[in-house]
């Protein structure tokens, strides 16, 4: 059994990412692997400020980085929940990824993008970025117009979903 982290890639107030992550968790409740939400807001990471690059292998200077590293080390793979801001992922998600290197290396990932067009550009950019860590792309799911498609119980209407979340789970 693997531990899969579901990373909420937005730290904005009123973000839809929490609802999308809860939907993923509801869909994953009967799955073989363990899924856990990782909320970037809980880590309060600044813009990258470590004195050395993450590939240097040197110890992290700041407690926030050490806490982030220790969290990410717990997982065998990840599902990134990302909105699309101006055709790309959020700055907070990019920074969170940039803080680490070895913690990401060679792990599988999936992407659940949400936005007006399902965050396809953001998903493509994120996939390309994560492949720099020799991570394996397990696939993507796109949720269109999440402000219309997510109900109060965190269900997402199937007409707004492109891709199959259950199929994505089986690839881990």
Cβ pair 53, 65 in contact under 8 A:
no
What pLDDT does residue 76 have?
98
Which pLDDT score is estimated for 143? Answer: 96
Q: Does domain 3-170 have CATH number 3.40.50.360?
A: yes
pTM (two decimals): 0.96
Where helices occur in the chain by DSSP H, the ranges are: 17-28, 63-73, 91-98, 120-131, 146-149, 165-170
Question: Which three-class secondary structure state does DSSP give residue 164?
Answer: coil
User: Structural domain boundaries of the chain?
Assistant: 3-170
pLDDT band at 108 (very low <50, low <70, confident <90, very high): very high
Q: Give tens-digit pLDDT for 10-67.
A: 999 989 999 999 999 999 998 999 999 999 999 999 999 999 999 998 899 999 999 9
Best CA proximity match to 33, nearest among 4, 8, 75, 6:
4
């Amino acid at each position: 059994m693997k531990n899969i982290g579901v990373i909420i890639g937005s730290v904005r107030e009123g973000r839809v990412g929490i609802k999308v992550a809860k939907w993923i968790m509801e869909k994953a409740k009967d799955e073989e692997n363990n899924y856990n939400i990782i909320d970037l807001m809980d880590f309060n990471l600044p813009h990258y400020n470590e004195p050395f690059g993450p590939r240097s292998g040197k110890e992290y200077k700041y407690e926030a980085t050490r806490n982030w590293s220790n969290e990410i080390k717990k997982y065998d793979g990840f599902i990134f929940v990302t909105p699309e801001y101006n055709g790309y992922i959020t700055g907070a998600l990019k920074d969170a990824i940039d803080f680490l290197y070895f913690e990401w290396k060679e792990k599988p990932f999936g992407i659940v993008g949400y936005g007006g067009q399902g965050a396809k550009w953001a998903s493509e950019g994120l996939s390309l970025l994560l492949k720099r860590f020799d991570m394996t792309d397990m696939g993507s799911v796109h949720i269109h117009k999440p402000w219309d498609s997510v109900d109060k119980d965190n269900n997402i209407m199937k007409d707004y979903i492109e891709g199959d979340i259950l199929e994505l789970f089986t690839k881990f």
